[in-house]
Amino acid sequence: ARKIIIDTDPGQDDAVAILLALASPENIDLLGITAVAGNVPLELTQKNARIVCEVAKRQDVKVFAGRAAPLERPLVTAEHVHGGTGLDGPELFDPEMPLQDQNGVDFIIETLRREPAGTVTLCPLGPLTNIAAAFRAAPDVVERVQEIVLMGGAYFEVGNITPAAEFNIYVDPEAAHEVLSSGIKITMMPLDVTHKALTTRARVEAFRALQSPVGAFTADMLDFFERFDVEKYGSEGGPLHDPCVIAYLIDPALFSGRHINVEIETASALTLGMTVADWWGVTDRPANALFIGDIDADGFFSLLTNRLARL
Ligand code: BDR
Ligand code: CA
């Protein structure tokens, strides 16, 4: 199984990604979860991460709180999508499992130094603040990362938080720039692919039909989560962004993309956080990421439902 750290800002779709990882021990060895400020402030994202672990009866998972704000900017949040708790939908509770004392950024550094070089994959599902902060504080760990598989960016789908930018990249563009220029092997799940992973009614009801606490919790989250896209855009469901990262680690054949150059806009007020993706190869800038463009959505949802049935 592949050793990973999930860096996350739950978020209903982050929560489903965590559940998929917990349900897949033959593919994934989850070393820890580091929370970051994003969809909602850090106090809520670290709490939500623990709630999700408890719903899956996995109080043993180590959850850390990382950075409370982007590297160089004030935090921008997304309660308009995720609700005031970040995890609106199901009935929430105060988790009993502890938050680890160690800071999430220090956990990332220590883990990369402790594990053999090239054996730990980082899975960022929120702004890239914790990851870039770790690289700034400990440049020696950069070459020890096996791969980064992240949710972020957009090309044909352009933006969701501004006309030009996707939320995770927009919130901390400096962090995104540092990660994209790190030289690490990077796989990106942009809106181009996640907007094809829609939570249709039938797919949500398949989670509820699992007749388990995890199935009900997931269906209740997605009932709430879809309303933003369904009401605002008339889309047939909500885009299940972050689970694409974990599904890729389990079954990469569900996805296809191109190795291309991706640069992050950090200066322009109008297009801040835009992922300038050279999909057509019109520059000679070297490829720095595998940019995913397509997904077998039915295969993805059947993987997800079959795996969550185990919890
Ligand atoms: C990303 O932003 C968040 O709202 C979601 O959790 C996802 O990680 C999509 O733009
Ligand atoms: Ca997220």
Nearest by Cα to 168 from 280, 281, 17, 1: 17
If pLDDT is split at 50, 70 and 90, which confidence band does 45 have? very high
Mean pLDDT of the chain: 97
Atom of ligand 1 nearest to the CA of 13: 6
- Return the pLDDT at 287: 98
- Phi–psi pair at 261, nearest 5 degrees: -90, 130
Average pLDDT over residues 144-164: 97
Q: Is 195 a catalytic residue?
A: no
Q: What is the average per-residue pLDDT within 174-188?
A: 98
Q: Which amino acid is at 25?
A: P
Residue 193 has pLDDT above 90, yes or no: yes
| pLDDT tier, 229 (very low <50, low <70, confident <90, very high otherwise) | confident
> How, if at all, do strands 186-189 and 289-295 pair?
parallel
- Is pLDDT at 210 greater than 90 in this prediction? yes
> Measured between alpha carbons, how far is residue 219 from residues 75, 113, 127, 248 in Å?
29, 39, 25, 22
Please indicate whether residue 88, judged by its CB atom, sits closer than 6 Å to ligand 1: no
CA of 84 relative to ligand 2 center, distance in Å: 15
Q: Which atom of ligand 1 is nearest to the CA of 151?
A: 8
What is the H or E stretch that residue 259 is in?
Answer: strand 255-260
Q: Structure tokens of 167? A: 């939320």
Which amino acid does the sequence have at 267? Answer: A
Count of Cβ atoms closer than 10 Å to residue 232 Cβ = 10
Atom of ligand 1 nearest to the CA of 82: 4
Question: Does the pLDDT at position 166 exceed 90?
Answer: yes
Quote ipTM for the complex: 0.99
Against a cut of 0.95, is the pTM above it?
Answer: yes
Q: Is 160 in the pocket of ligand 1 (CB under 6 A)?
A: yes
| 78 in contact with ligand 1, CB cutoff 6 A | yes
Distance 77 CA to ligand 1 centre (A): 10
Would the CB of 151 count as within 6 Å of ligand 1?
Answer: yes
Residue entry with tokens 């249709």? 200
Strands (E), 86-168: 120-124, 145-151
Q: Could you give the residue ranges of the DSSP H alpha helices within the chain?
A: 12-22, 42-55, 79-82, 104-114, 129-137, 167-171, 173-180, 191-194, 201-208, 213-233, 243-250, 297-308
CA distance 291 to 3: 22
Token reading at 48: 């939500």
Query: Tell me, what amino acid is at 76?
Result: V
